[in-house]
Structure 1
Amino acid sequence: MIVKNNFYIITGGPGSGKTTLLNELRKNGCNCVPETARNIIREQVEAGGRALPWGDTRAYSDLMLFRSVLDFINLKDREDIYFFDRGIPDTYGYEVLMGFNIGDVLKNAVEQYRYNPLVFILPPWREIYETDSERKQDFRTAIDTYKVMMEVYKDLGYIPVEVPLLPVSERADFVIRELK
């Protein structure tokens, strides 16, 4: 097992402001790791691939797991604080949401690669929710994803801390304060 207490996950449903918050933290000098899902979607669309949330969801989930583990391993020797736009347990949550049987590879990954127990979760926020070419889920799915992520992280031994619905600079301040 590899435990990295300097790795913090920022999670939540789609369209809750995760990437915006990570960008704000980055502007404030924090180390941030981008979400793998959007990169996968872009790559698959460009290549005409099927590993997409509206295509081959199993292949999409497998790619998310692979890329999330790779991000973790590539940074495992770093001692600075890093914020991750989602983490390995998010793939677990995605598979729960999709009704998949959770395979041994995923179970082992969430046990083997551990982040700081404190996880920042952003609740659904209708006023900022938007769809785009990569986020096609409706707001109901955002709510369902949030609920699943909250439960999955708790079940995996993490402590979810809900980030309040505030302007992005105040959300970033909240996250930084919680680290202390």
Structure 2
Amino acid sequence: MAQRGESQARLVLTGGPGAGKTSLLETLRGRGWSVLEEAGRAVIQDQERIGGPALPWMDRRAFADQMLGWDMRNHRMAEASEGPVFFDRGIPDVIAYLELCGLPVPAHLENAAKVFRYDQVFLLRPWPEIFVQDRERRQTLEEAERTCEAMERVYARLGYRLQEVPRGTVMQRADFVMSWMSAWRRRR
């Protein structure tokens, strides 16, 4: 992975749906950290708003292409950022999505995962006690667990060392990430 200074750190939170990623990211944002939104939920909302077909229940390939574009844009936004940036998922998540769907992963997507790299990946596992389905999250808990396994497998295959975030209150989880960040700063 590319070594950047602390000011350019790109940090991904990934895992299955219903793991508490959004709550954790909102807490980190509340503590003053930059956070970039998840592609999947935004693409679904935008596509529904315009009556578009790039939805996971209509055209999975088009949905993946939209997510890739969103994630590459997020990466460029992070390049212009003054400090560390947290991503709600990353480009490897799109690869894992296609693999879960049984669809081939195009070469340009594999290339994107090699070109647009992250400094650290935090993994949050699905948590039955907080898992809920909603309008955009239609997966079952079992599907969320398979999704998490796929994310873990793809990130590892791409050379990332994942740091699992333990279950706990959202404040405890934010403290864990901040503690990791402090240790990371000392190592650099």
TM-score, length basis structure 1? 0.95
Greater shift after overlay, 76-85 or 54-63?
76-85
Kept in 2: contact 1:6–1:80 (CA 8 A): yes
For structure 1, the 5+ residue unaligned runs are: none
Task: Give 3-state SS (helix, strand or coil) of 1:11's partner.
Answer: strand
Q: Which residue of structure 2 lines up, in the alignment, with residue 122 of structure 1?
A: 124
For structure 2, the 5+ residue unaligned runs are: 184-188
Kept in 2: contact 1:6–1:79 (CA 8 A): no
The answer to whether structure 1 residue 21 and structure 2 residue 18 are counterparts is no
The answer to whether structure 1 residue 46 and structure 2 residue 49 are counterparts is yes
Amino acid across the alignment from 2:103:
F
TM-score, length basis structure 2? 0.91
Could you say what the CA RMSD is over the residues aligned between the two structures, in angstroms?
1.5
Task: Give 3-state SS (helix, strand or coil) of 1:80's partner.
Answer: coil
Q: Which residue of structure 2 lines up, in the alignment, with residue 171 of structure 1?
A: 173
List structure 1 runs of 4+ shifted beyond 2 angstroms: 1-5
Identity %: 42
Greater shift after overlay, 130-139 or 46-55?
46-55
Superposition deviation, residue 93 in structure 1: 1.1
Superposition deviation, residue 168 in structure 1: 0.2
Amino acid across the alignment from 2:136:
E
Superposition deviation, residue 75 in structure 1: 2.4
The answer to whether structure 1 residue 81 and structure 2 residue 80 are counterparts is no
Greater shift after overlay, 107-116 or 93-102?
93-102
The answer to whether structure 1 residue 134 and structure 2 residue 136 are counterparts is yes
Superposition deviation, residue 78 in structure 1: 2.8
Q: Which residue of structure 2 lines up, in the alignment, with residue 7 of structure 1?
A: 10
Q: Which residue of structure 1 lines up, in the alignment, with residue 155 of structure 2?
A: 153
Structure 2: distance between partners of 1:68 and 1:2: 18
Structure 2: distance between partners of 1:86 and 1:123: 13
Structure 2: distance between partners of 1:74 and 1:25: 18
